[in-house]
């Protein structure tokens, strides 16, 4: 097994706010991130695929296919958007980077399995950086 990681970038805005909580509770939990009009980030997304190296090509996965899949499933959906207002998923779920990271994993996982020459390749993990000082990782499971 070798692990191939490819880096993507997208920019989006969000507001951290849960309507079922009080204003005070929202403020205490999210601080400035509860600002009514939102704020934004340059997200850095690292997608890691695991699999054996296919002997003839010397490759663990087709990078072009990976790029097209991430472009279509993630970047077109989230880049240059307001997560709360533009995306159906985050109308009812708070768009924290935790939830965004899990949503990206769940979206990519079925799309990156069993492609052509790489039947054993699979999504290993997703890493989503929100700012220069924090990032989140999700590898599936509960």
Rounded CA-CA distance 64/57 in Å is 14
Rounded CA-CA distance 21/94 in Å is 12
> Tokens standing for 43?
């997200």
Could you list the residues that contact a second copy (CB under 8 A)? Answer: 1-9, 11-14, 16, 18, 20-21, 29, 31-33, 35, 37-42, 44, 52-53, 56-60, 62-64, 79-82, 84-86, 93-96, 98-99, 101-102, 131-139, 141-142
Q: How far is the CB of 15 from a second copy (least distance, A)?
A: 9
Residue of 108, 106, 102, 109 whose CA lies nearest to 128: 102
Rounded CA-CA distance 84/66 in Å is 27
> Tokens standing for 79?
């880049």
> Among residues 86 and 113, whose Cβ is nearest to a second copy?
86
Q: How far is the CB of 102 from a second copy (least distance, A)?
A: 7
> Among residues 6 and 111, whose Cβ is nearest to a second copy?
6
Q: How far is the CB of 130 from a second copy (least distance, A)?
A: 8
> Among residues 11 and 114, whose Cβ is nearest to a second copy?
11
Around Cβ 6, how many Cβ atoms within 10 Å? Answer: 14
> Tokens standing for 98?
């935790």
Q: How far is the CB of 114 from a second copy (least distance, A)?
A: 18
């Amino acid at each position: 097994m070798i692990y191939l990681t490819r880096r993507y970038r997208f920019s989006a805005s969000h507001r951290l706010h849960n309507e079922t909580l009080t204003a005070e509770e929202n403020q205490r939990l999210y601080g400035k991130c509860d600002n009514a009009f939102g704020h934004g980030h340059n997200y850095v997304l690292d997608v890691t695929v695991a699999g054996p190296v296919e002997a003839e090509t010397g490759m663990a996965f087709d990078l072009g296919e990976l790029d097209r899949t991430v472009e279509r499933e993630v970047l077109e959906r989230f880049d240059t958007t307001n997560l709360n207002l533009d995306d159906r998923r985050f109308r009812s779920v708070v768009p924290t980077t935790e939830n965004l990271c899990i949503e990206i994993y769940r979206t990519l996982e079925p799309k990156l399995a069993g492609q052509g020459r790489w039947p054993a390749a699979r999504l290993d993990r997703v890493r989503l950086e929100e700012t220069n000082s924090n990032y989140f990782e999700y590898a599936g499971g509960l």
